[in-house]
Amino acid sequence: MDVNAAVAALAAIAGVCTGVIAMLAFRWSERDQARPTRTSLHTDAVLPPGVDTVLSVLRSSAVVLDESDSVVKASSAAYALGLVRGGKLAVEPMLHMARDTRRDGEIRQVELDLPRRGTGRGEALAVSARVAPLGSRLVLLLVEDLTEARRIEAVRRDFVANVSHELKTPTGALSLLSEAVMDASDDPEAVTRFAGRMQIEATRLTNLVQELIDLSRVQNDDPLEDSESVRVDELVAEAIDRSRQPASTKQITMASGGTADLHVWGNRGQLAAALGNLVENAVNYSPARTRVGIAAHRVSATGGDLIEIAVTDQGIGISEKDRERIFERFYRVDPARSRATGGTGLGLAIVKHVAASHGGEVTVWSSEGQGSTFTLRLPEAGAGRDRTSTGPDEDDRRYDTDPSIELDPPTVIPAPEVLP
């Protein structure tokens, strides 16, 4: 009997021990499951509530790092800029900033130049990086792309510098010439010569101020406010009349052709100025006894027909490297020649702005020594025109290349003397 009681007591003790061990094992398992693992740190679950939503709507590139410098969350813009690669922050200076912020909790900001991905030309991205603590373990990195802002600031700075220089040149020349006139008061021939040069510089100054006003106007005014249906034939005739005298001086023949009775919709004054600048450039940069042609055609395009107005010359042409910049303000292919022709470097910039504000574009084809063709493309005005006829008629005149076509008999006028 005593033996049976002892066995029962041992069995009870064994059962109690087993239960205790099972309970401890269960609690240990729960605690182990609740403990965050290395992989769980890389999920969105570790982010504080609402942070994921805020990061998704930020315009800046966002990266969240944990205590091991692994990326917990990164926006698509961060990957596009090349900030994150293989789950790690790929920019070493930003990584050092994140570690310093994690250590002392201070917010840091720095501007950096990063190599642009996918190019081998040394181009750089200008970015502003800001690092701040996010909770007790995480660090938030916000990166703003400043490349376009810096480019605009550089353009503004260059514009102010160029305007100052361009205004200073003729005003300085006028000052010197006025002193020369005073010193030569007893020499009528010298006074006449200096007065002629003063007229040249005054004209150059007037043209520069007028083109600055025109450029400011086309940039700030909405062409749709005073828009109307404009006949292309009238724009072409006005542009030819504007350059008739300098063309006659150089014995340059101007001819127009293409499709008649075309219309574009927009501000008549701006359109006339744009086309006039193209024709004026063609005449100024063409050798004597050559031809300048202006032709207008209708071309089909997605979203509606376009009107193409092409201005072709037989001038000096434009090199490939210069073609990329000729529409920049104050950029001139040959500054010395521009001084001789009175060019300001603003004409093509005005053309570009007018074309863009009217929903069109301007393009250029050129070959050095063979000439250039500037093409102004604008949306056609109105759809009421009868387009059922497909055969050519007298209103569909193609550009005439017969060399016998010329304007009024050319008159040779001596070129005015220009300051060196």
Residues of the chain with pLDDT > 70: what percent?
Answer: 72
Helical (H) or strand (E) element with 11: helix 2-34
Considering the segment(s) 224-384+395-420 as one domain, its CATH architecture is: 2-Layer Sandwich (3.30)
The two counts, helices (H) then strands (E), for the chain are 12, 15
Handedness of CA 56, 61, 67, 69 (dihedral sign): positive
If you search the block for the tokens 């193209």, which residue do you land on? Answer: 278
Question: Contact, 63 vs 101, CB < 8 A?
Answer: no
Tokens of 8: 């029962």
Q: What pLDDT was estimated at residue 41?
A: 39
Tokens of 377: 């493309």
Q: Is 9 left (phi over 0), alpha (psi -120 to 50) or beta?
A: alpha
Domain spanning 147-220, CATH class: mainly alpha
Cα–Cα distance for residue pair 25/19, rounded to 1 Å: 10
Where is average pLDDT lowest: 111-125, 149-163, 285-299? 111-125
b/e per residue, 29-57, with b = 16+ CB within 10 A? Answer: eeeeeeeeeeeebbeeebbeeebeeebee
Mean pLDDT score, 181-192:
88
Who's near 389: CB < 8 A, 6+ residues apart?
none
User: What residue spans in the chain does CATH classification 3.30.450.20 cover?
Assistant: 43-145
User: What residue spans in the chain does CATH classification 3.30.565.10 cover?
Assistant: 224-384+395-420
Multiple choice CATH, 43-145, 3.30.450.20, 3.40.630.30, 1.20.58.340, 3.40.640.10: 3.30.450.20
**Could you give the angle at the alpha carbon of 403 between the alpha carbons of 399 and 407, nearest 5°?**
80
Using DSSP's 3-state secondary structure scheme, residue 84 falls into strand
Tens of pLDDT, residue by residue over 328-367, are: 777 766 554 445 545 567 788 889 988 988 889 999 999 8
What DSSP letter does each residue of 241-307 carry, written as one string?
HHTHHHHHHTT-EEEEEEESS-EEEE-HHHHHHHHHHHHHHHHHTS-TT-EEEEEEEEE--TTS-EE
Who's near 23: CB < 8 A, 6+ residues apart?
none
pLDDT at 391 exceeding the cut of 50: no
Helix pair angle (347-357, 268-284), 10° resolution: 140
What DSSP letter does each residue of 15-37 carry, written as one string?
HHHHHHHHHHHHHHHHHHHHSPP
Tens of pLDDT, residue by residue over 1-45, are: 555 666 566 666 766 666 656 566 556 555 544 444 433 334 444
pLDDT at 400 exceeding the cut of 80: no
Tens of pLDDT, residue by residue over 196-255, are: 889 888 887 887 787 777 777 776 666 666 788 999 999 999 999 999 998 999 999 999
Task: State the DSSP code for 327.
Answer: T
Residue 413, Cβ neighbours under 10 Å: how many? 11
Who's near 110: CB < 8 A, 6+ residues apart?
93, 97, 128, 129
Helical (H) or strand (E) element with 74: strand 71-74
Tens of pLDDT, residue by residue over 137-172, are: 889 999 988 888 888 888 777 777 777 777 787 888
Cα–Cα distance for residue pair 138/72, rounded to 1 Å: 9
User: What residue spans in the chain does CATH classification 1.10.287.130 cover?
Assistant: 147-220
Question: Contact, 218 vs 353, CB < 8 A?
Answer: yes
pTM, whole model, 2 decimals?
Answer: 0.51
Task: State the DSSP code for 384.
Answer: -
